């Protein structure tokens, strides 16, 4: 027979079986579609040699009035600022633990800090101040005040830290004193279930996964980050709000401080850019009283003043309460509105001016968001992942977004590793890559406690892809020329800030869509690693006297690449019946280069599919059409 073209629609179809998905792509990794054709995604390069302490749980980019560009990453441990090619520690500090005493032992680098009911836990970060070295102690004041410290073991009335050297003196016994300045507690590294009488997880009906009435979700440490003009606004999830001013004094050596007169416990905050109000969501009904937090209640500051929340006839501060749902999950600023999503419904909040200031209108129901960072504004629309399964968009009305990978993402039936709803909903992080018209959600699968997968919607191509790219935060190329994203490494020690007694767990800040490889920056020099990519078609067969009636013999195929700068492998997968396990043809896989004109395969089966794999360093490709030579080879 003559050569035959396999016309494949762009995007992945994982809803159907490989046989049903004839003429479509069914799987792949590190690929995207552009102008209908698949290609490898761009590479990424680490921005500095430093790695941040903790897991990235929020990122924001902005510039000040002088044009200086900033990226701030909030982890579950610190608030790190990136500018001018360096990191700066602007983590806020909690209340001082004053008049502590110091105990040291000859020959040991461990020092005990004594203070009744100090309130610090193992793993807490701190700095020392007002240090007086006790008699018998060989350490200097600089040994205590140069670096950040991590609490090694905490008891009710004492805790241990580790010095950079050992005690060479006789040792001190609860002598002299120091003040301890703890870092503000942000939260745990993961999401966990706990149990308590008469309570249940908010998403009890989530995607066919029943929840007992005794489950409670403890949210991971997280941030909402925004800018009020040039000032950074940073709110800890279910915590306080802080600000950082790039024009005040020597800002790069100044930490973020508590925003005066703000609520002390809010789910999150968001700036209404058009009218310059700061909106606190899921916040306190009485400012300063954390016991009054109402997760459906919101308040907004006076216009142009994010530190005034007292409603008066002379200002535009005010409060509102939503009525559909159990809690506000997240919010995002749109073109001229703020979209707020609870666990049940969606609302838009629009500025109307005095005396009412804002109008609040419900625009959707049964469309709750899965997590705070799962809501993304992109190209004039808002997209979000739902806790009940599926995706939604808001373009003036709330609409369900058709998705051909939906079951793969939300179902954990059989061997499918869908999203981990028990410990992963608040970890989901959505990001917009405007360079390629993509909205992506990063999530942990059923076997993971941290993010290890990605699902992407291309709104120009109207297609979906999935993959294994793991990013805990993502910032679009709005301020910087390329997107920035963080990756978490649980086994690697962080290098920023410098921490005495540092334990493993660090975040790497990458610049994306640069080159074709992964580049890590070390003090000894860069290390380049290949980014493996792949894509696989659905099954195809002969349509002579019925689909799949005849076995077919695939004698040869002709590769067709728009771009292929190194080599790749193409494997022909065969199966006799749809439920059989597909196996490679006997001569495959076949190595392909730009010089390859055709490949002789000697493949024989009822159904066949092909898969492209590119695993080498510097590999880059963009595929065209698949042409193959097949003929009937008898009935079976």
**Exposed e or buried b per residue across 21-30, where buried means at least 16 C-beta atoms within 10 angstroms of its C-beta:** bbebbbbbbb
Whether the pLDDT of residue 47 is over 50: the answer is yes
Whether the pLDDT of residue 599 is over 60: the answer is yes
Whether 468 and 596 map to the same domain: the answer is: no
264-298 pLDDT per residue, tens: 999 999 999 899 999 999 999 999 999 999 999 99
Whether the pLDDT of residue 569 is over 70: the answer is yes
Q: What percent of the chain has pLDDT over 70?
A: 94
Whether the pLDDT of residue 145 is over 80: the answer is yes
Q: What is the edge-to-edge ordering of all strands in the sheet holding 56-63?
A: 56-63, 69-75, 79-83, 86-89
In a domain, 320, yes or no: no
pLDDT at 208: 44
Whether the pLDDT of residue 372 is over 80: the answer is yes
User: Mean pLDDT across the stretch 620-627?
Assistant: 93
104-127 pLDDT per residue, tens: 999 999 999 999 999 999 999 999
pLDDT at 211: 43
The mean of the pLDDT values for the chain is 93
Residue 179 sits at the vertex; the CA angle it makes with 177 and 183, to the nearest 5 degrees, is 145
Whether the pLDDT of residue 544 is over 70: the answer is no
pLDDT band at 213 (very low <50, low <70, confident <90, very high): very low
pLDDT at 615: 96
Whether 27 and 132 map to the same domain: the answer is: no
Whether 59 and 205 map to the same domain: the answer is: yes
Q: What CA–CA distances, in Å, run from 182 to 240, 415, 481?
A: 15, 45, 36
User: Mean pLDDT across the stretch 402-430?
Assistant: 92
Whether 77 and 200 map to the same domain: the answer is: yes
Whether the pLDDT of residue 583 is over 60: the answer is yes
- DSSP 8-state code for residue 578: T
* CATH code, 613: 2.60.120
In a domain, 244, yes or no: no
pLDDT band at 387 (very low <50, low <70, confident <90, very high): confident
Q: How far apart are CA 520 and CA 507, in angstroms?
A: 12
Beta strands in 105-230 (DSSP E): 110-114, 125-132, 148-150, 158-162, 175-182, 192-195, 215-218, 223-228
User: Mean pLDDT across the stretch 55-67?
Assistant: 97
pLDDT at 216: 62
461-516 pLDDT per residue, tens: 999 999 999 999 999 999 999 999 999 999 999 999 999 999 999 999 999 999 99
Domain that holds residue 433: 43-88+191-222+391-529
| Domain boundary pick from 495, 529, 563 | 529
pLDDT band at 388 (very low <50, low <70, confident <90, very high): confident
pLDDT at 4: 84
First to last CA, the chain: 20
User: Mean pLDDT across the stretch 65-80?
Assistant: 97
pLDDT at 199: 39
Whether 83 and 11 map to the same domain: the answer is: no
pLDDT at 488: 98
Whether the pLDDT of residue 537 is over 70: the answer is yes
In a domain, 118, yes or no: yes
Whether 418 and 544 map to the same domain: the answer is: no
Instruction: Tell if the pTM clears 0.85, that is, is over it.
Output: yes
In a domain, 77, yes or no: yes
> How many CB atoms within 10 Å of residue 448?
17
pLDDT band at 203 (very low <50, low <70, confident <90, very high): very low
| Domain boundary pick from 503, 529, 555 | 529
| Domain boundary pick from 493, 514, 529 | 529
Continuous segment of H or E residues that includes residue 409: helix 406-410
pLDDT at 505: 97
* CATH code, 122: 2.40.30.20
Lowest mean pLDDT among 189-203, 339-353, 396-410, 444-458: 189-203
User: Mean pLDDT across the stretch 38-53?
Assistant: 97
Whether 30 and 58 map to the same domain: the answer is: no
pLDDT at 200: 37
Q: What CA–CA distances, in Å, run from 440 to 19, 125, 314, 352, 434?
A: 27, 33, 43, 33, 11
Q: Are 309 and 287 in contact (CB under 8 A)?
A: yes
pLDDT at 210: 43
DSSP class per residue in 31-78: EEEETTEEEEPP-EEESSS--EES-EEEEEEEE-TT--EEEEEEESS-
Whether 544 and 568 map to the same domain: the answer is: yes
589 cis-preceded (ω within 30 degrees of 0) = yes
Q: How far apart are CA 457 and CA 465, in angstroms?
A: 7
User: Mean pLDDT across the stretch 512-540?
Assistant: 97
pLDDT at 546: 63
In a domain, 65, yes or no: yes
Whether 404 and 522 map to the same domain: the answer is: yes
Whether 57 and 69 map to the same domain: the answer is: yes
Whether 438 and 541 map to the same domain: the answer is: no
User: Mean pLDDT across the stretch 1-27?
Assistant: 90
User: Mean pLDDT across the stretch 537-548?
Assistant: 76
pLDDT at 29: 98
pLDDT at 201: 35
- Which residue has better confidence, 72 or 199? 72
pLDDT at 193: 64
Whether the pLDDT of residue 252 is over 50: the answer is yes
Whether 460 and 597 map to the same domain: the answer is: no
Q: Are 375 and 328 in contact (CB under 8 A)?
A: no
pLDDT at 205: 40
Lowest mean pLDDT among 215-224, 253-262, 605-614: 215-224
pLDDT at 593: 94
In a domain, 299, yes or no: no
How many domains does the chain contain in total? 3
pLDDT at 197: 39
Residue 538 sits at the vertex; the CA angle it makes with 537 and 541, to the nearest 5 degrees, is 115
In a domain, 440, yes or no: yes
pLDDT band at 140 (very low <50, low <70, confident <90, very high): very high
pLDDT band at 141 (very low <50, low <70, confident <90, very high): very high
Backbone angles phi, psi at 488, to 5 degrees: -100, 135
pLDDT band at 6 (very low <50, low <70, confident <90, very high): confident
Q: What CA–CA distances, in Å, run from 10 to 37, 369, 400, 411, 561?
A: 6, 28, 21, 23, 16
In a domain, 339, yes or no: no
pLDDT at 204: 37
Q: How far apart are CA 614 and CA 530, in angstroms?
A: 9
């Amino acid at each position: 027979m003559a050569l035959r073209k396999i016309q494949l629609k762009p995007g992945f179809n994982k809803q159907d079986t490989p046989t049903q998905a004839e003429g479509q792509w069914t799987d792949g990794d590190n690929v995207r579609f552009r102008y209908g054709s698949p290609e490898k995604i761009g590479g990424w390069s680490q921005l500095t040699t430093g790695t941040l302490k903790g897991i990235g749980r929020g990122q924001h980019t902005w510039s000040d009035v002088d044009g200086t560009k900033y990226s701030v990453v909030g982890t579950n441990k610190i608030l790190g600022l990136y500018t001018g090619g360096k990191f700066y520690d602007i983590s806020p500090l909690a209340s001082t633990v004053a008049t502590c005493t110091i105990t040291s032992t000859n020959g040991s680098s461990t020092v005990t800090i004594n203070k009744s009911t100090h309130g610090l836990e193992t793993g807490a970060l701190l700095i020392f101040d007002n240090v007086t070295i006790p008699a018998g102690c060989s350490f200097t004041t600089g040994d205590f005040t140069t670096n950040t410290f991590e609490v090694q073991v905490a008891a009710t009335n004492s805790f241990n830290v580790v010095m950079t050297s050992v005690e060479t003196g006789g040792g001190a016994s609860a002598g002299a004193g120091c003040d301890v300045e703890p870092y503000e507690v942000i939260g745990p590294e993961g999401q966990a279930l706990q149990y308590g009488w008469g309570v249940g997880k908010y998403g009890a009906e989530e995607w066919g996964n029943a929840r007992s009435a005794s489950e409670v979700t403890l949210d991971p440490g997280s941030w909402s980050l925004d800018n009020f003009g040039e000032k950074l606004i940073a709110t800890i999830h279910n915590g306080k709000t802080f600000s950082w001013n790039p024009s005040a004094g020597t800002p790069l050596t100044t930490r973020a401080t508590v925003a005066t007169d703000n609520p002390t416990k809010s789910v999150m905050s968001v700036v209404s850019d058009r009218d310059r109000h700061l909106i606190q969501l899921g916040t306190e009904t009485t400012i300063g009283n954390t016991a009054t937090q109402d997760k459906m209640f919101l308040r907004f500051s006076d216009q142009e003043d994010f530190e005034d929340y007292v409603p008066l006839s002379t200002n535009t501060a005010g409060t509102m309460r939503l009525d559909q749902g159990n809690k506000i999950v997240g919010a995002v600023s749109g073109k001229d509105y703020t979209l707020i999503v609870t666990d049940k419904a969606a609302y838009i909040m629009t500025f109307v001016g005095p005396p009412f200031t804002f109008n609040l209108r419900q625009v959707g129901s049964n469309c709750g968001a899965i997590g705070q960072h799962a809501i993304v504004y992109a190209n004039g629309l808002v997209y979000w992942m739902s806790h009940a399964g599926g995706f939604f968009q808001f373009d003036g009305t709330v609409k369900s977004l058709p998705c051909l990978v939906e079951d793969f993402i939300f179902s954990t039936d059989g061997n499918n590793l869908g999203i981990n709803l028990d410990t992963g909903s608040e970890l989901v992080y959505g990001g917009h890559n405007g360079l390629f018209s993509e909205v992506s959600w990063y999530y942990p699968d059923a076997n993971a406690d941290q993010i290890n997968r990605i699902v992407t919607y291309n709104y120009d191509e109207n297609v979906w892809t999935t993959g294994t790219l793991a990013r805990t935060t993502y910032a679009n190329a709005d301020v910087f020329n390329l997107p920035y994203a963080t990756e978490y490494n649980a086994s690697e020690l962080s290098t920023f800030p410098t921490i005495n007694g540092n334990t493993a767990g660090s975040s790497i800040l990458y610049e994306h869509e640069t080159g074709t490889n992964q580049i890590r920056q070390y003090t000894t020099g860069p290390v380049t690693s290949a980014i493996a990519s792949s894509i696989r078609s659905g099954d195809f067969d002969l349509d002579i006297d019925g689909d799949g009636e005849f076995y077919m013999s695939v004698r040869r195929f002709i590769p067709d690449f728009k771009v292929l700068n190194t080599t790749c492998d193409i494997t022909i997968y065969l199966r006799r019946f749809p439920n059989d396990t597909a196996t490679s043809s006997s001569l495959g896989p076949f190595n392909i280069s730009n010089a390859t004109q055709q490949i002789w395969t000697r493949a024989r089966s009822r159904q066949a599919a092909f898969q492209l794999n590119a695993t080498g360093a510097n590999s880059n490709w963009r595929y065209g059409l698949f042409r193959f030579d097949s003929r009937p080879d008898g009935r079976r």
